Structure 1
Amino acid sequence: MLKRASMVGEPGGSSPVHQLYDYWLSKSRDRRIPSRADIYPEEIPQLLPYVMLHDVVRQNGFYRFKARLIGTHIVDVCGSNPTGRYIDEYMPREDYKKIYETLTGVITTKAPAHGVVPVHGEDGYFLDFEVITMPLSYDGEQVDMFFCGRRAIFRKGNSTEK
């Protein structure tokens, strides 16, 4: 059964992340988790730069998360495209633990997780991202993919504001 309440707090306003959340909610059928087949890129062309898709891979009682698609906004801001790679291959170990907990929470609760996460580069703090991770399921019950929205939030005074 689909749960509307998110783990961290629902996105607000009209940001691309909030619009993606509304779109995901509109795709729930009989209050079941939407599937990848329910997501039509042509219905949300203006939001595609903010979209990420990750496969949920079950291995020996653990999960791995493989990037299937990374939107151009995310690639442009971060300067790399990890499509085809597992998150644990490109995220620092100290950050991955928190990411793993969040993603397994989405699998367990079948509810979206929303929040603001700091991104660190080699020189320290880089920027914040507003992120929402929403479950997708081929059968409406078991989470097999994540439909994510991610938007850069630049702090005042940052000359690269978008």
Structure 2
Amino acid sequence: MTNASSLSTYKVDPLLKRLDAPEHIQAKALYDYWCSKSQDGKPPKRTDIHLDELAALRCADRCFIIEPSGDGDWQYRLLGTTIARYYDRDVTGIPFSQHMPEHLAASANRFSNEVAETLKPLFLLIDYKRHDYSGIIETMSLPIMARDGKTVWLFGGSFFKSA
């Protein structure tokens, strides 16, 4: 669990904007990749997502896969190194409610649950400040089917733009 002094270094300004589609060039490439894996309007399976293909898109370090961890909470199952650097550590396997401030975890869980329920992609711009980074993050959450074929996980990426 993150300590209180570490949590106080997070700041997310009121800017939280939904986008109709990705804007960042690599976000567009990642979305096109996800679309190419979707069939008959159904989300792709986790087994359709390949690290070597993400590396070829030059965005593997900014990709993630999240899974439900119970009680409406979510956790990273796979977390790119660039994203981990902004958390100051690898938070894979730690529920959002245990490594984010309460209000951020609530928002992240709400958005994740929305995508899982609707099976529709979500694209956001967020003004983010923490430690040595200040800027806009464009992030996306895209539904995928877990290996069991029943559970919805989310696949996506976060793309950092300096202010």
Q: What is the TM-score normalised by the length of structure 1? A: 0.77
Q: Which runs of 5+ in 2 are unaligned?
A: 1-17
Q: What percentage of aligned pairs have identical amino acids?
A: 23
**What is aligned with 1:152?**
160
Equivalent pairs counted in the alignment come to 144
Matched, 1:11 2:19: no
Report the Cα distance in structure 2 between the residues aligned to 1:101 and 1:154, rounded to whole angstroms.
26
Q: Conserved in 1, the CA contact under 8 Å of 2:125 and 2:138?
A: yes
Q: Deviations over 1:41-100 (max 9, x none)?
A: 11221220110111123x3xx322121111112123442221121111111011122222
Residue 135 in structure 1 maps to residue 147 in structure 2: no
Bigger strand share: 2
The alignment partner of 1:44 has SS state of: helix
Structure 1 unaligned residues grouped into runs of 5+: 1-6, 156-162
Q: CA RMSD in A?
A: 2.4
TM-score (norm 2): 0.77
**1:88 alignment partner in structure 2:** 97
CA positional deviation for 1:140: 10
Q: Whole-Å Cα distance in 1 between the matches of residues 113 and 93 of structure 2? A: 20
Q: Distance in 2 between matches of 1:92 and 1:126?
A: 18
> Which residues of 2 match residues 3-152 of structure 1 at below 5 A?
8-14=19-25, 16-45=26-55, 46-57=58-69, 59=70, 62-121=71-130, 126-138=134-146, 142-152=150-160
Moved more, 131-140 or 81-90: 131-140
Once the two structures are TM-superposed, the CA of residue 121 in structure 1 deviates from its matched residue by 3.3
How many Å separate the matches in 1 of 2:83 and 2:34? 19
